[in-house]
Every structure is written in structure tokens, then in C-alpha cells.
A and B are shown apart, each in its own frame.
Chain A
Amino acid sequence: MREPRVPAAVIVGAVVLACGALLLGANLWLADRVARNVRLAQVRLLVELVGVTGLSDAEMERFVADNLREEKDDAGRVRRWVYLRESTVGAVLYPMEGRGLWGPIHGVMAVNPELDTILGVRISRHEETPGLGAEIEAAWFLRRFEGLRFVSDDETCGPLELHVVKAGTAKGPLEVDGISGATETIRGFDAMLGRTLHEVLGDRRAGP
């Protein structure tokens, strides 16, 4: 191969500039779309949890902006969302954060206005093993938490005993069957659930 005459630095510089320009262009064109996708993933979860269906993406965004009141903690992170249905509280949604076998798990839990029963749980992000740990985001598993009352009848704020246990060994109303073959993931899921419920009970003690 013959050696070209153009200095190497000029060529590399030109290629760097061309690549940079191409990527900046792509970013300008697509950045808003990407940001919207990230936002929509969260919005979809919240809308699903308060039981509203059949909305388009844009309608969902408007619905969340109009009906869900965000409450932040001192560090500026979202602590919970309060769902207002015709000016009364319809549900309270708590973000969940935990760790699974391979990486972080994120999700949202919806609780009734009296803060004593789980309305629903959704998982937004995880890195668990497909087919095993990843089933924590599946409907058949999450359905087990719907309508679970985590405060006992005689005590207003009873001891917290809701636990996810080994698949097939759940006893009593406060134990939920886990997923077979996903022990570590379920352990993380259980800890995450416990922390979130702890926060819910704290709010319950603090009163409305």
C-alpha cells in the first residue's frame, strides 16, 4: 500500500470533527425523544398503579401532572406521590429502591389512603436473571401483593411481619410465596418491600 502524503494529525483531526459533528447532530435530533421515553416509562407505571387504563402517552403525562402530587424529601428526591381523585386522596405511591442478585432494583408501591393495605406493586428497573429473578416484574408474581393488609386488626400499627418467603412455603396472611430458583433476588425484594413498608408505617403514625 502506498503511503499518502497528508499528515496523520490532519486526518485524525478531520475524522474526530466529522464523528463529533455527526453525534452532536444525532443528539440534537433525538435527545428530547430519549428524555421523553425515560419519563414515560415512569409515568406509565404510575398511571397503571392508580388503575387508570386506555390513555395515550400524551394523556398519561397530563394525567400524572394534574392528579398526582409529588412530595420530596430534604435531599430533593421524590418521597411519595399522592393521587387525588376528585379532591380526595385515592392512593399514595411510594418509590422503592433495593438490590437484587446482579444489580439495583427500582419500583413503585401503591397503598390505600388509610395506609394499611397494598394496592399494587410494579418494578421499573432490574438486572436479574431472565426467566428466574426477572420474574419479579411479571404480573403473576406481583398480583400476590394486591390487597395485602399489612397492619393487624387489633393494633393500629402492628408489628411488621409481611415477608416474601421461599416458594411454596407461605403460611398465614402475612407471608407471600417467592419465586423458585431466585432466592437471592427474592431476599433483596423482601428487604426492599420491608424498607418501603417501614416508611409507610412511619407516615401512618405521623397521621394525615
Chain B
Amino acid sequence: MNRHLATLVTPIWKENPIFFHVLGICSALAVTTRVSNALVMGAAVTCTAAATGVFVSLLRPVVQRSVRLVVEMLVIATFVILFDVMLKAFWYDMSRQLGPYVGLIVTNCILLGRAEAFALKNPVLPSLLDGVGSGLGYSWVLVVVAIFRESLGAGTLLGLRVLPEGAAPAQALFLPPGAFFLMGLLVWGLHAVRRRP
């Protein structure tokens, strides 16, 4: 059991996909102007990573090495499209805010990377846990970035006001340069924290 717990927790902190492997950084910058967007995007990646992990692991005994990439991409794309259609059907406003970035999860290296590095070599349960763990590791970074950007850039959190009405919000955080700066500073902060014994 402890081993399973480790599989789940390792990608959340020790080998965080965004900070440790520098994977999936595109969407970490693009959808983090609102905490709600970051939460949905995180859920999308967690669900698709878990489902991909399970199916790639299930197909492991019958898939040959030569075609494994094709199969992995097919499985990933199918789940991403499923999530996209569900979002369009049940939460249309959110789907419009995320725009093409849900579809772009297909090229999010976290999914293909975890499928190649983990699910292809491990049984179903650990693959599921690894997928969920990677998804969660990705999600919390997204949410942290979004908390900074929404609270300081718009003065709100999940749409609720947190800065006093008169305070001028730092709108620059919404623009691309602000996003890059913030992400760079976060990477710095995290490295500093991790290096401490």
C-alpha cells in the first residue's frame, strides 16, 4: 500500500511535472488568469492523464513497440475530445473561456511523457495513481499561479472581491510578460524551498 501511496505522491511534489520536468508549461501560462479556469483545466488534465494511464497499461500486453506511439496518441486524443465535448455540453461558458487550450492538452507532454515512462511498464493500478498524481501535481501549480494573477491582477478570487474597491490592480499580470515573470519567480521560489534540507 505504501508503495502505491508513493506512486501517487511523488509526481505531486518531488518530481512535479511542471517544475521538475518543465512539461506542460504552455497551458500553465495561458489559462491562469482566473482561478476557476485553472481548476477546470487541472481537472481536465487529471482526468485524461488517469484514463490514459489505465488504457495504455491495459493495452500493454498486446501493443508492439513499433506502434506504441500511435496507440498512445489515439488514446490521449480520444479522452481529450471526450472531455472537450462534455465541457461544451454541460458548461458552455467555461468551454468558451478555455477556447483551444482544452484541445491542446493532446500535445501536453505530461500525458505522453507519463504514458511512455510509466504506464507502458506498469500494471493498471499504479498507472492510474501515477496519472492522478501527475495531474494533481500539474493542477496545484496552475491554481497557485492563478491565485496570484487573479487576486493581484483583478482584485478578485473565484469572482469574489479580495482587494479593497479603491486599490488599483496590477493589470500587467494579465498580459503575457507578467505571466512569464510570475512563472520565473515561482520556479525560483520553489527551487529555493526544495534545496533547503
Contacts and interface: CB of A to CB of B under 8 A. Distances in A.
A and B touch in their complex, CB below 8 angstroms: yes
Q: Interface centre among A34, A38, A41, A132, by most B CB within 10 Å?
A: A34
Nearest to B95: A37
A130 B67 contact: no
Interface string A18-42: 0100110011001001100110110
B123 interface: no
B78 interface: yes
Contacts of B90: 33
A206 interface: no
Contacts of A132: 171, 174-175
A123 B92 CA distance: 16
A24 B131 CA distance: 25
Q: Is the interface of B mostly helix, strand, loop or mixed?
A: helix
Contact of B78 (A11, A23, A33, A37): A23
A8 B74 contact: no
Interface in B74-112: 74-75, 77-78, 81-82, 85-86, 88-90, 92, 96, 99
Nearest to B60: A1
Contact of B74 (A6, A19, A34, A40): A19
A40 B75 CA distance: 32
Given A19-B78, A131-B154, A131-B174, A12 B62 contact: no
Interface residues of A, number: 28
Looking at chain B, what size class is its interface with the partner chain? 20 to 34
B63 A4 contact: yes
Contacts of B2: none
Given A8-B64, A130-B174, A22 B78 contact: yes
B164 interface: no
B92 to A, nearest CB: 4
Contacts of B16: none
B174 A4 contact: no
Contacts of B77: 19
B33 A15 contact: no
B185 interface: no
Interface in A116-139: 125, 127, 129-132
Contacts of B81: 23, 26
A147 interface: no
- Would you list the 7 A-B pairs with minimal beta carbon distance, nearest first? A37-B92, A131-B174, A33-B89, A130-B33, A30-B89, A19-B78, A8-B67
Interface of B: 33-34, 59, 61-67, 70-71, 74-75, 77-78, 81-82, 85-86, 88-90, 92, 96, 99, 121, 153-154, 169, 171, 174-175
